[in-house]
Chains A and B, each alone.
Chain A
Amino acid sequence: MSVKSLIGAAERTSWLLVAPLVAILAFFLLLPIATIVMVSFWNYNEFTYFPDFVLDNYLYLLTSKVTLATYLKTLKFMVLTWLFCTAIGFTVAYFLAFHVRTLGMQIALFLVCTIPFWTSNIIRMISWIPFLGRNGLANSALIDLGIIDQPLDWLLFSDFAVVLAFVHLYVLFMVVPVFNTMMRIDKSLIEAARDAGASGLQVLTNVVIPLSKPGIMIGSIFIVTLVMGDFITVRFMSGGQSASVGRVISNEIALLQYPAAAASAVVLLATVLLMIAVMLRFVDVRKEL
C-alpha cells in the first residue's frame, strides 16, 4: 500500500468520525439559524408571512429609536448583573477554594450553594414579588423597624427588581466556573508569593485573579448570553414596564410577525457573538483551561 493511499484512508476515517457531529450541528444549529436568517427577509401581513426579499424588517429595526432604547436598557441590565454576579461569584468561589480546608466541606458547601437551584427559575423569580411588594415582607419589616415611614415603591416593578432577580438567578453560573479554575491553582504558587513578600491583596491581584480569568470569562459568557436573551424576568420584575430585546422578539412572535422577530433575532445573535468575540480577545479560554 502506498503512503498516499494510507493517508487517504486515515483522512477518510477522520472525516467519518467527525461526520456525526457535523451532521448534528448542521441539522440542529446551522439549519435553524439559516432558516431564521432566511425568514428575516420575508414579508408579512396581519395573519400570515410569506417568502419575499424585503429589507423593511431590518430597516425598521436599525433605524427605530425603540431598538436603541431597548438595546441600551438590555445592556444596562447585562452590565449590572455581570458586575454583581462577578463580585459575588468570585467572593463565594474564593471562600470555598481557599478558606475552606477540607475537600469534603468544600463539596458540601458547594452543594449548599446549589439548593436554591433545585426549584424552577420562574418560581425563584416570582417569589420575589410578594416579598418586595408595597405591602410585602421587606417593606413591612423596614417600617416596623422604624427605618422608613412610607413603603419603598422602587423595590418592586423597577430596574432594581430586575437586576436583583437576574443576580439571584444567574450567580451560580459564575460561582461554578470560577470555583473550578480556582481549585486548579497550585497552592504552592500562593506560598511562593507569600515567601517573596507579597501582601494578601497582592496575592489576590497578581496570582489568584490572573489565574482565575478563564473561569471568570466562562461565567461572564453565561451571564451575557442569559441576560441578553431573557424575556420573562424583565417582564415580571419590571411589571411589564421595561423592554428588553428578548421581550421585543417574544411580542413580535405573539403578533405573528415572524419575519420581524427573525430579523430581531439575527441582530441579537450578531450582537451577542460580537460581545463574546471581544471578551475572548482578553482571555484565551482554550489555552488556559
Chain B
Amino acid sequence: MTTGKATKKAGTFSRRTVLKGAAAASGLALGSGAVTGFPTIWAQNIKDVTLRQFGTGVSNLNEVAAKVKEDLGFTLEMTALDSDSVTQRAATQPNAFDIADIEYWICKKVWPAGNLQAMDVAKIKNYDKIVGIFKSGKLTPESTIAQGTAPHSVGFVEGMDGTKFAKEETGWMTLIPTIYNADTLGIRPDLIGRPIESWTELLNPEFKGKASILDISSIGIMDAAMVCEALGEIQYGDKGNMTREEIDKTMAIFTEAKQAGQFRAFWKSFDESVNLMASGEVVIQSMWSPAITAVRSKGIPCVYQPLKEGYRSWGGGIGLSKNLKGLELEAAYEYINWYLSGWVGGFLMRQGYYSAVPETSKNFMSADEWGFWFEGKPAASDIANPQGQVMEKAGAVRDGGSFYERMGRVACWNAVMDENQYMVRKWNEFIAA
C-alpha cells in the first residue's frame, strides 16, 4: 500500500469526522447532479491515496484514471492484462492490487480463493438503478435467465466474509458491475456477399480455410456450443456447464472441422482477431465488439452479425481486495459510486459497451449518441468514439439494434464449468489435433 503518509495524516482527525465529511460531500455532489471533486477535510486526505486496479484492457482505460484524479482527487493506477493473467493475479496475488476489474466467470473461479471482500450495497448510491441482469438475473420481469455463469448467480454472498454465492440479492455484492456486452460472430459482408443468420455458418464448408474461433478455452467452447446446438447436433442441458459427454461431442465436431481445414487460424488476443479480419485471411469468426469497430475504422466493412440463436454474453465488474481497509476502503467506495454515476458509463457506451446504470450514463451522452448506442435508432449525425474518431456515418444503425433487443436475446453467459479441467484438456487436444 502506498499511503503511509495518508494514514498518518488521517490520524489527526477522528475517523468519524472523515467518514461523515465524505458521506456529506458525496451526497451533496450526487444530489446536485454533478460529481466533481470532494471539498473539505476529505479531499485533503484522499489525494494521497493510491488505488491499484488491474483488469482486462477493455475497461482499464487511462482516460478513466485521469478523470478519477480530476473528480475524486486520488490516484488510480491501472494495469491491463489478458484474462488468463487477470485470473492468476486475482487468485494468487492479493497484495498486488486494491481493485480487481474482472469478469463474472473469473469471479466464480477466484472468489473461493478468498482474496476479495464483499461490498455493502448500502454504501452504493445507485444500487437501485443497476440493471436487473446483475441483481435478479432478469433484464425485464418477463425475461428468462440465460445459461452459463449469469452475473447475478455469482454476484452476491451471504455476508462480508461469505465464500458461498447466494441465490438472490443479499446486500453483499461480490462485484459491482461495470461493463457488459453481447457477443456474436463478426463477418466480412463484402467477401461473403449473402446474408448470414445462424451460428452454423461458422462450420459451413463454403468458408473453408476462412473461418476462425478464439483460443481461450472457456469462451471458445461456448461459441463452439452455440454452433453445435444451432446445427442440431447436440442438445445441451446447460451450455455453460456441460457434461463430459457434451464436451466430447462438441470437441469431436470441431476437431473434424479443423482437420478438414475449416479454420484459417485461432486467435487469442484482440489485435490478432482484428488483423485476421482486416487482412481478409478470415471472413467469419468469433469476435468482440471493439474489434469490429477497429476493423471498420480502417475503412473495411465488417458486421457484428446478430444471429437467430442469440448472443453469447459477458459482463465484468470491480471487486475489492481483502486487504483494503480504512481510508483506502472508503476511497474505493467513492470510486465505485463515481463509476456508477455516469461519466464512465457514457465513456464506455460510446465505445459500444453497456453500462450497469444506463440512466446515469445518459446524462453524459448526446441525445443522438444515446439513440444510436442504446436505443438502436439511426444516427442523426456522424457518431464519434470518445477519442473523437468517427465510427459511424449519419444514418447508420447499430448491428443488432437496441439494448433490449441485444441484451434480451442472450442465449448464454461466459462461464466456468464444473468439468472445467476436463474441458481444458479436451480443448488442448482440439488445438493439438
**What residues of chain A have their CB less than 8 Å away from a CB belonging to chain B?**
46-48, 60, 64-66, 69-70, 73, 129-130, 133-136, 153, 156-157, 235, 238-243, 247-248, 251, 254-257
Interface of B is mostly: helix
CB distance from A35 to the nearest CB of B (A): 16
Top 6 nearest A-B pairs (CB, nearest first) are: A239-B265, A240-B266, A243-B432, A254-B84, A47-B91, A47-B113
Indicate with 1 or 0, residue by residue over B79-102, a CB within 8 angstroms of chain A CB atoms. Answer: 000001101100110000000000
Least Cβ–Cβ distance between A52 and chain B, in angstroms: 15
B258 contacts which of A130, A241, A248 (Cβ < 8 Å)?
A241
- Residue pair A130, B279 in contact (C-beta under 8 Å): yes
- Distance of A257 Cα from B91 Cα, bound (Å): 12
CB–CB A73/B279 < 8 A = no
**A47-B112, A135-B279, A240-B266 in contact; A256/B432 too (CB < 8 A)?**
no
| Contact A47–B432 (Cβ < 8 Å) | no
Residues of A contacting B85 with CB < 8 Å? 254
In the complex, the chain A residue whose C-beta lies closest to that of B85 is A254
Pick the contact of B280: A64, A73, A129, A135 (CB < 8 A): A135
Distance in Å from the Cβ of A198 to the closest Cβ of chain B? 49
CB distance B280 to A66 under 8 Å? no
Is B264 in the interface zone, CB < 8 Å from A? yes
Complex: chain A residue closest to B420, CB-CB: A46
- The SS class assigned to the A binding surface is loop
User: For A66, what are the chain B residues with a Cβ–Cβ distance below 8 Å?
Assistant: 425, 428-429, 432
Assuming the A-B contacts A47-B113, A241-B431, are A256 and B215 also in contact, with contact meaning beta carbons closer than 8 angstroms in the complex?
no
A168 vs chain B, min Cβ distance (A): 20
Whether B279 pairs with A133 at a CB distance below 8 angstroms is yes
- CB pair A254–B88 under 8 Å, yes or no, is yes
Can you list 6 A-B contacts (CB < 8 A)?
A66-B425, A238-B265, A239-B263, A240-B265, A241-B266, A242-B432
**Whole-angstrom distance from the CB of B190 to the nearest CB of chain A?**
13
Q: Which residues of B contact A243 (CB under 8 A)?
A: 428, 431-432
B416: interface (CB < 8 Å): yes
Give the shortest distance, in Å, between A129 (CB) and chain B (any CB). 7
B151 to chain A, nearest CB (A): 19
Given known pairs A135-B280, A241-B265, the reply for A256 and B275 (CB within 8 Å) is no
B267: chain A residues within 8 A (beta carbon): 239-240
The minimal Cβ–Cβ distance linking B96 to chain A, given in whole angstroms, is: 15
Does any Cβ of A come within 8 Å of B110's Cβ?
yes
User: Within residues 185 to 240 of chain B, which ones have a CB less than 8 A from any CB in chain A?
Assistant: 209, 212, 215, 217
Output the nearest chain A residue to B208 by Cβ-Cβ distance: A153
Q: B109 in the interface, Cβ–Cβ < 8 Å?
A: yes
Closest beta carbon of chain B to A268's beta carbon, Å: 15
Q: Given that A134-B281, A256-B92 are contacting pairs, would A240 and B268 also be in contact in the complex, using a CB cutoff of 8 Å?
A: yes
- Which B positions have Cβ atoms within 8 angstroms of A? 84-85, 87-88, 91-92, 109-110, 112-113, 209, 212, 215, 217, 258, 263-268, 275, 279-281, 416, 420-421, 424-425, 428-429, 431-433
**B273 CB, min distance to chain A CBs, angstroms:** 11
Complex CA distance for A247 and B275, rounded to whole angstroms: 21
Neighbouring A residues of B258 by C-beta, 8 Å: 241
Contacts A136-B279, A242-B432 aside, 9 further interface pairs with beta carbons under 8 A come to A46-B109, A46-B416, A46-B421, A47-B109, A64-B429, A65-B429, A66-B429, A134-B281, A248-B432
Q: How far is the CB of A128 from chain B (nearest CB, A)?
A: 13
Contacts of A133 in B (CB 8 A): 279, 281
Contacts of A242 in B (CB 8 A): 432
Question: Considering the chains assembled together, what is the distance between the CA atoms of A157 and B263 in angstroms?
Answer: 10
Report yes or no: A256 in contact with B280, Cβ–Cβ below 8 A: no
Across the two chains, which residue of chain A brings its CB closest to B108? A46
Q: Tell me the smallest distance from the CB of A39 to a CB of chain B, in Å.
A: 13
Asked if residues B110 and A47 are in contact (CB atoms below 8 Å), the reply is: yes
- Closest Cβ of chain A: how far from B187's Cβ, in Å? 17
B156 nearest CB across to chain A (Å): 19
A69, A135, A238, A256: residue with the most chain B Cβ atoms closer than 10 Å? A256
A150 and B266 alpha carbons, distance in the complex (Å) = 23
Within 8 Å CB of A251, what residues of B? 424, 428
Taking A133-B281, A235-B268 as contacts, is the C-beta distance between A241 and B263 under 8 angstroms? yes
Complex Cα–Cα for A134 and B276 (A): 10
Cβ–Cβ < 8 Å partners of B112 in chain A: 46-47
B-chain residues with CB within 8 Å of residue A235 when the two chains form the complex: 268
Q: How far is the CA of A135 from the CA of B280 in the complex (A)?
A: 7
- Roughly how many angstroms separate A65 CA and B255 CA in the complex, as a whole number? 14
Chain B residues whose CB sits within 8 angstroms of the CB of A48 once the complex forms: 91-92, 113
Query: Considering only CB atoms, which chain A residue lies closest to B258 in the complex?
Result: A241
Q: Which residues of B contact A64 (CB under 8 A)?
A: 425, 429
Q: Which residue of A lies closest to B427 (CB)?
A: A251
| Closest chain A residue, CB of each to CB of B426 | A66
The residues of A that contact B92 with a CB separation of less than 8 Å are 48, 256
A133 to B278, CA, bound (A): 12
Q: Contacts of B420 on A, CB cut-off 8 Å?
A: 46
Instruction: Give Cα A243–Cα B432 distance, bound, in whole angstroms.
Output: 5
Nearest residue (CB) in B for A130 is B279
Chain A residues contacting B429 (CB-CB under 8 Å) are 64-66
Contacts of B433 in A (CB 8 A): 69
How far apart are the CA atoms of A21 and B202 in the complex, in Å? 58
Whether the pair A134, B279 counts as a contact (CB closer than 8 A) is yes
A221 to B212, CA, bound (A): 36
Q: How far apart are the CA atoms of A241 and B262 in the complex, in Å? A: 11
Q: A238: which B residues are within 8 A, CB to CB? A: 265
- Contact at A129–B424, with CB atoms within 8 Å? no
CA distance A235 to B266 in the complex (A): 9
Are B215 and A240 in contact, with the CB atoms below 8 A?
yes
